[in-house]
Amino acid sequence: MIDLTTLTIATARKKLDNKEFSAFALAQTYLREIKKKNGELNAYLEVYDDVLEQAEVADDRIAKGESHSLLGIPIAIKDNILIKGRHATSASKILENYIASYDATVIEKLKKEGAVFLGRTNIDEFALGGSTENSAFGVTKNPYDTSRVSGGTSGGSAVAVSANMALAALGSDTGGSIRQPSAFCGVVGFKPTYGSVSRSGLMAATSSFDVIGPITKTVEDAEIIFGVIHGNDVLDSTTLPFSPRTVLKKSPKGSSFFRIGVPWSLVNQDGIDSEVKENFKKSVKNLEGLGYKIKDISLPNCLPLYYIINFAEVSTNLARYDGVKYGLHVDGKNLLEDYLLTRGVGFGREARRRILLGTYVLSAGYYDAYYGKAQTTRASLKKEFTKVFSLVDLILTPTTPHPAWKIGEKNDPLSVYLEDVFTVTANIVGIPALSLPSGEASGKLPLGIQFMTSHGREDLLFKIGKEFEAISKDGP
Amino acid sequence: MDIKDVEDLARLARIELGEDEKKDILSDMKGILEYVRTIESMEVKDAQPEYSAYNVWREDKNELREFSKELVTKQFPDEKDEFLKVKKIL
C-alpha cells in the first residue's frame, strides 16, 4: 500500500525510479482515493477514463531508463486549461460540451515529461470568484470542514492536493486564485512572475493578470513543476524573453541578508480576522528568530484598481463565447437573438454581472474615471514597487483576511471581492508570490501566509519558503 | 444608475436578462461601482496610463502546424459541407 499522506513529487520520483512502486500502482491508489472522496468534495468535474493507460506508458518509459522529474506523477488540471481531445468547460454551461482542439503549452510540456493526468478540477465559472461557489456544476467543499468553501477559483485543484486525490495540480491565478484556495486547504500555492509561464491554451479571464502555477504539498514540489512549465513561448507574445531565476546564484552568508517588508497598516486594519492577525504575528516572530530583518512598509489597498481592470478585461474576453462557432447555441429568430439567448442562458450570475460592470467601466463617459484612472494608477504602483524592492527583498502578508467561510454565507458579491485584499497586488504588478500553510484557526481551519518578491526572483521565494516550511514542521 | 442603464448595458453586452435579475444587478452594481470609485483617492505620482500591448514579430516562415480540423468542425452548431453555417445578417 502506498502512503499518500507523506508522498511528495520528490519522494515519488525516487520510488518510481527505484521500482519501489510503479506509476500504474500509484495512479491506481489515487483513483481509489478519488472514488472514495469525490462524491462529497466535488474536486473533480471529470476523472479521465484512460488514467491507467497513461500510467502504463509512463512505466514503459521508466523501464527504458528514462527519468524526468514528472514522469509517472499523477497531476490534476484546472478545468480552464486545454488538453487536446478532452472536455474543457471553465465550469460554465456555455462550454459544457466543448472539446479542446489543441494542447495548452503547459500541457505539452507536462506530456513530454510523462506526467499522468488524473482529471479536470472544479473552478469558479471562467475563474470569476473566490470560493468555487460560482461553478455551474456545484460547489467544491473544504476537506477540513465540508460545510465550508474550498476557496477559489482553483478550488478543485487545491482540494485534490489537500485530500490526497492528486499528488499535485495546476491552477491559474488572476487575483489570488491559486494562493487563496491553497491557504484555505492547507497546501502550497505558487503564483509565478507574470509572463514566465505561457498562457497559450489557458482560457483568458484577465489577460494582463492571468498566470498558470502549481498547487503542491511542499515548496520543493512547486519548484519542480515550475521548472517544467516555465519558459518563453511563440504562442504567447507576453511571455518573458528570459527565464526567471530558480536557483540562488550567490548563497548569502546567513539569512539576515534578507529584509522582509510587512505592510502593518494593511494587516492591522479592521475587517481582518483576529486569529489571522495572531497567526501572522507568530509567523513574523518565527522569521525574526531565523535572523530575518522585519521592516514596516506601506502598501495601498489595491482592490478598486484590481476590480476595474478585471471587469474591463473579463467583459472583453468573454465576448468570444457567442454560440456561433462552438459551445452552447440557443436558437433565436435572428442572429442578434441567438447572441442574447445563448449568452443569457449560458453564463452564470457572476459572469453576467462582471460582463455588465466591464461594459460600464469601458463605456464612453465613464472610461476616464474608471479604466483610464486604473491604468494610470497601475503604472504608478509599478514604479512604487521598484522603490519598495530597493528597501526590502521580500514582502510578507497573510494570504487571506479570514479562514474558509461557510458555503452560502456570503451572498453579497462585494463581500467576496474584499477577501482578495492581500493577493491582488502581486497580479497588478506582475510579481511572483507564494502562499504557505502557517497553522490553524479554531475549528482546525488552515491559515496561510504569503511572500511576494520582485519580478523573476522566484529563487528567493523558494529559499525562504523551504526555511519557513522547516520551522513550521519542527516547531520554532 | 437605473434599470434603463442596466438594460442598455445588457443590450450592448448581448445578454438577455430576466426582470428580477435586472433589479438584482442594479443594486449589486451600485454597491460595487461605489466601492471601486474610491480609486479616485489613490495617489498617482508622475505616471502615464500604461497599455502594455505591443507587437511581437516572428519570422514569416512556412511551418507545418496541426489545426485539428475535425475537432473544430465537429463542434460547429450548424454546418454545411464542412463550412460553418450562420444566420443571414441582412
pLDDT digits (tens, 9 = 90+) for A429-442: 999 999 999 999 99
Higher local confidence (pLDDT), B41 or A55: A55
Cell of A295: 521592516
- Chain B contacts of A352, Cβ < 8 Å? 15, 17, 21, 25
Chain B residue with Cα closest to A307: B36
Q: Is residue A82 part of a domain?
A: yes
Query: Would you say residue A407 lies in a domain?
Result: no
Which one-letter amino acid corresponds to residue A138? G
- In chain A, what residues touch B79 (CB-CB under 8 Å)? none
Contact state of B42 with A379 under an 8 Å Cβ cutoff: no
Question: Starting from the edge strand earliest in sequence, which strands make up the sheet with A259-262, in order?
Answer: A44-47, A116-121, A74-78, A168-173, A211-216, A188-191, A433-441, A445-453, A394-398, A259-262, A293-296
Sign of the alpha-carbon dihedral angle for A235, A237, A242, A246: negative
Q: Which pLDDT value is given to residue A180?
A: 98
Residue A225 lies in a domain: yes
HSE-up of A438 (CA within 13 Å, CB side)? 33
Q: Are A451 and A219 contacting, i.e. CB atoms less than 8 angstroms apart? A: no
In this complex, which of B16, B47, B58 lies closest to A383 when CB atoms are compared? B47
Q: Nearest residue of A to residue B71 by CA position?
A: A101
User: Which residues in A lie closer than 8 A to residue B58 (C-beta atoms)?
Assistant: 234
Is A276 within a domain? no
Among A320, A335, A360, A429, the residue to mutate for chain B (most B Cβ within 10 A): A360
Q: Which of A322, A59, A358, A75 is nearest to A207 (CA)?
A: A358
Q: Answer whether residue A101 is part of any domain.
A: yes
Supply A227's cell numbers.
Answer: 521548472
CATH code at position A146: 3.90.1300.10
Number of domains in chain A: 1
Please name the member of A100, A305, A413 whose beta carbon is closest to the beta carbon of B28: A413
Looking at the domain assignment, is residue A373 inside a domain?
Answer: no
Cβ(A390)–Cβ(A346) below 8 Å:
no
**Within a domain: residue A139?**
yes
Paired strand residues for A191: A433
Q: Is A85 on the interface with B (CB under 8 A)?
A: yes
A293 phi, psi to nearest 5 deg: -95, 130
Model confidence at A255, pLDDT cuts 50, 70, 90, reads very low
Cα-Cα-Cα-Cα torsion A107, A108, A114, A117, nearest 10 degrees, comes to 30
The structure's pTM equals 0.96
- From B9's Cα to the closest Cα of chain A, the distance in A is 6
Ranges assigned E (strand) in A353-418: 394-398
What ipTM does this complex have?
Answer: 0.92
The answer to whether position A39 is within a domain reads: yes
* Phi and psi angles of residue A295, each rounded to the nearest 5 degrees, phi first: -130, 135
For B49, the closest chain A residue by CA position comes to A376
Tell me the pLDDT tens digit for each residue of A394-447. 999 999 999 999 999 998 999 999 999 999 999 999 999 999 999 999 989 999
Of B29, B47, B76, the CB nearest to A379: B47
The C-alpha atoms of residue A370 and residue A309 are separated, in whole angstroms, by: 9
* Pick from A170, A212, A263: nearest CA to A432: A212
- Domain range for A160 is 9-229
Cβ–Cβ contact A304 with B under 8 A: yes
Cβ–Cβ gap A380/B45 under 8 Å: yes
Q: pLDDT tens across A348-391, in order?
A: 999 999 999 999 999 989 999 999 999 999 999 999 999 999 99
Half-sphere exposure of A233 (CA within 13 A, CB side): 20
